[in-house]
Structures are given as C-alpha cells and as structure tokens.
Amino acid sequence: MENDGKQVCVLLVEDDPGDQKLIKTALMDQGCEINLKIASSGEAAMDYLKMSTEDAVRYSRPSLILLDLNMPGMGGKAFLKKIKADEDLCSIPVVVVTTSDSETDIRECYASHAAGYIEKSAVPEEFGDVLKRLTRYWFSVSAVLKG
C-alpha cells in the first residue's frame, strides 16, 4: 500500500486506477500534509484498518476514509456497514465519493452513518475543486482524530 509519510492520514478505498490517480493528485495539491493510503478493494481496506488498530506505529490510523461504492467483492456499502459496526473503527468518518446519483444509495449511505456523499465529477478540474472543498472542511475546520 502506498505511503507518503506525511501528517494526517487519509484512506482512499477505490478500485479504479484512473480515479485513484485523480484523487491522489487532487489531494496532494491541497497544501495540507496528507498521508494517503490507497486500498483497491473493501477487503484490502479492512485488512489495513485491522493492522492499524494492532500496530499504530507501523500502520497509521486514518483520520478520514474516502469510499467508492461500486467495487467488486465487498462493495462500498458493505464496507461502510462493517466499519460502522466495529467498536474500534466506527469513529473514523467515512465520506462516500462515487459516480452513483441513486437516491437509494444516498439514503442507505447516510443511514449507515456516512459523513458526506459526493458525486464524482467527470471533469478533472471540477473534481479537483470539489476535493479542495472537502479537505478544507475536514482538515481546516473540523477536528479529526489523529492516529
């Protein structure tokens, strides 16, 4: 799993390499110190999170999770339910970042305690701006738990 060695840890759960790159570039451009971890599946993300609870020195606990919904295997909604049912992990805010504009998906994600639901923009510049506003909220205004 990629590790940039900076301060606030964000876990991106996203299977599409193009979207991974887009989000990574946008987050790294924000000027705040983000240690970005990228998991290509819900399962890999869960594995990482479990390791971070057992060995916080080697595996930084994320302060925020950005979560795609449509992934093979464990989908985003199943991942969200699982993490929110875990006593150790439920305090990590999860923001859904997805192509889905389905009202059912929106409702289910908020019912599972998502801390935001963002539709991916097809336009990179627009998406970069969206991510800038997201990081401003989570890292300049809201307190987050640091691992």
Q: Draw the binding track, 75-114, toward other proteins (x: CB under 8 A; -: no contact).
A: ---------x-----xxxx-------x-x--xx--xx-x-
CB of 119 to other proteins, least distance (A): 6
Counting contacts by CB under 8 A, is residue 130 touching other proteins? yes
Q: With helix as H, strand as E and coil as C, how does 29-97 read?
A: CCCCCEEEEEECCHHHHHHHHHHHHHCCCCCCCCCEEEECCCCCCCCHHHHHHHHHCCCCCCCCCEEEE
Vertex 107: Cα angle to 98 and 126 (nearest 5): 30
**Nearest approach, Cβ of residue 2 and other proteins (Å):** 25
C-beta closer to other proteins: residue 50 or 84: 84
Residues in contact with other proteins, counted by CB under 8 A, come to a total of: 29
Residue 145 makes contact with other proteins by CB under 8 A: yes
Q: 47 with 78: CB under 8 angstroms?
A: no
Tell which one of 32, 51, 74, 115 touches other proteins (CB under 8 A): 115
Measured between its terminal Cα atoms, the distance across the chain in Å is 17
Assess 32 for contact with other proteins (CB under 8 A). Answer: no
In sequence order, what are the residues at sequence separation of 6 or more whose Cβ sits closer than 8 angstroms to the Cβ of residue 24?
12, 36, 38
Binding site for other proteins (CB under 8 A): 84, 90-93, 101, 103, 106-107, 110-111, 113, 115-119, 130, 133-134, 136-138, 140-145
